[in-house]
């Protein structure tokens, strides 16, 4: 027993010494809790030069980490093992994080650049008065296609994808909300529908699409479409912009039946230690020049109205990626359907994927 006690004391002493050394190293390098900022964002979702510029301007060291899904991000923040000062979740996730009390309120007096955001992107249903979130990027879900590979054929709606001419020519993103939403919208139902008969009808209709589906894939969908491995892809608008930048033959359309209007937003998680630094970072990213630089680098649409003046006209004036209000008004924002219904969406999507060739 005495030996066990001595081992425990020794282990405790070693752990304490390591913590002390780490703290001293950070301190001597100037990285203390007060001047570091941990940003948790999607992969390849910021111009690295902006991080360098923020560090230079504020003296705050940025620790940048990435996630690949809202679910992975929210799980890590809920566990609380890591300090995150900034995160960039999507709209329905913000609603969920608010419910689970994972967010700190935003102090608008510390973000004067909030005035640069187009009012149509503020005060949205998932966060009234932007109490907990500030817009970062926005976009749509739609169809990118290669007219040359389709003999000049144009695609304008979801139901075009069921054409026999597209056999083995479609790539789908690996997302339950996006694919189930496509199925629901093709039947003229809401992509937030929870009616069980409608959901089963959508899944059944998606199953009949399977002969045209070449694969359901992740980020590689961009490379495959740019390399003309398939003629059609269901993607987010920012990915479409990137794909079209690599292959000028491609085009992008928001389907006539309706689709998803999505928003990614900066929030301050409850784990934040540098709350003042988090506000500085948000305000920095809302500077029109910084927002324009980021939009140009990432390829997604900026909600920053003043930033449009700093973007090339062929980007800011492209209505495929900056659609007019009369178009976006017809689109739907994902709602937080609750754990049980979201699990059901995932289950239906998995059943659909089981039909993959």
The answer to whether 12-18+25-137+264-317 and 139-261+323-355 have equal CATH topology is: yes
Question: Does pTM top 0.85 for this prediction?
Answer: no
Digit-coded pLDDT (tens) for 224-275? 999 999 999 999 998 999 899 999 999 999 999 999 999 999 999 998 999 9
The pLDDT assigned to 147 comes to 96
Q: Rounded mean pLDDT of the chain?
A: 90
- The answer on pLDDT for 111 being more than 80 is yes
- The answer on pLDDT for 291 being more than 90 is yes
In this prediction, residues 107-128 reach a mean pLDDT of 95
- The answer on pLDDT for 82 being more than 90 is no
Q: Which two tokens stand for residue 264?
A: 């990614």
- The answer on pLDDT for 357 being more than 80 is no
Q: For the chain, give the percent of residues with pLDDT over 90.
A: 77
In this prediction, residues 168-188 reach a mean pLDDT of 95
The CATH number for 139-261+323-355, chosen from 1.20.1250.20, 3.20.20.110, 2.60.120.10, 3.40.190.10, is: 3.40.190.10
**Beta carbons of 213 and 236 less than 8 angstroms apart:** no
- Between 290 and 22, the higher pLDDT residue: 290
Split at pLDDT 50, 70, 90, the class of 29 is very low
Least confident of 17-21, 246-250, 292-296: 17-21
Rounded to whole angstroms, the Cα distance separating 273 from 271 reads 6
Least confident of 36-45, 277-286, 321-330: 321-330
Split at pLDDT 50, 70, 90, the class of 355 is confident
> Domain residue spans in the chain?
12-18+25-137+264-317, 139-261+323-355
Q: What is the 3-state secondary structure (H, E, C) of 28-76?
A: HCCCCHHHEEEEEEECCCCCHHHHHHHHHHHCCEEEEEEECCHHHHHHH
* 3-state SS assignment for residue 89: coil
Split at pLDDT 50, 70, 90, the class of 68 is confident
The pLDDT assigned to 6 comes to 55
User: What CATH number has the domain spanning 12-18+25-137+264-317?
Assistant: 3.40.190.10
The pLDDT assigned to 338 comes to 86
Digit-coded pLDDT (tens) for 318-348? 999 999 888 888 899 998 888 899 899 999 9
- The answer on pLDDT for 73 being more than 80 is yes
Rounded to whole angstroms, the Cα distance separating 146 from 249 reads 6
Question: CB under 8 Å to 69, separation ≥6 — which residues?
Answer: none
CA nearest 180: which of 337, 32, 51?
A: 337
In this prediction, residues 215-230 reach a mean pLDDT of 94
């Amino acid at each position: 027993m005495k030996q066990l006690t001595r081992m425990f004391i020794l282990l405790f002493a070693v752990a304490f010494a390591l913590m002390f050394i780490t703290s001293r190293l950070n301190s001597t390098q100037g990285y203390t809790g007060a001047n570091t900022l941990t940003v948790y964002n999607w992969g390849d979702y910021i111009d690295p030069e902006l991080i360098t510029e923020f560090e230079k301007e504020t003296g705050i060291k940025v620790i940048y980490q990435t996630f690949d899904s809202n679910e992975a991000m929210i799980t890590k923040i809920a566990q609380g093992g890591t300090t995150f000062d900034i995160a960039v979740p999507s709209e329905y996730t913000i609603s969920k994080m608010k419910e689970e009390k994972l967010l700190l309120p935003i102090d608008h007096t510390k973000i004067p650049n909030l005035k640069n955001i187009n009012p149509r992107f503020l005060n949205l249903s998932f966060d009234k008065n932007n109490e907990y979130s500030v817009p970062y990027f926005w976009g749509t879900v739609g169809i990118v296609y290669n007219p040359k590979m389709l003999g000049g054929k144009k695609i304008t709606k979801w139901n075009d994808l069921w054409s026999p001419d597209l056999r083995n020519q479609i790539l789908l993103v690996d997302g339950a909300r996006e694919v189930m939403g496509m199925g629901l919208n093709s039947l003229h139902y809401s992509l937030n529908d929870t009616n069980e008969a409608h959901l089963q009808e959508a899944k059944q209709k998606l199953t009949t699409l399977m002969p045209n589906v070449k694969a359901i894939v992740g980020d590689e969908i961009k490379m495959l479409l740019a390399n003309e491995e398939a003629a059609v892809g269901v993607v987010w608008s920012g990915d479409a912009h990137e794909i079209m930048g690599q292959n000028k033959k491609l085009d992008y359309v928001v389907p006539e039946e309706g689709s998803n209007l999505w928003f990614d937003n900066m929030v301050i998680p409850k784990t934040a230690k540098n709350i003042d630094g988090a506000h500085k970072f948000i305000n920095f990213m809302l500077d029109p020049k910084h927002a324009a630089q980021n939009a140009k680098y990432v390829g997604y649409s900026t909600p920053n109205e003043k930033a449009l003046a700093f973007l090339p006209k062929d980007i800011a004036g492209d209505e495929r990626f900056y659609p007019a209000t009369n178009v976006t008004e017809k689109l739907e924002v994902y709602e937080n359907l609750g754990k049980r219904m979201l699990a059901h969406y995932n289950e239906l999507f998995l059943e659909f994927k089981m039909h993959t060739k």
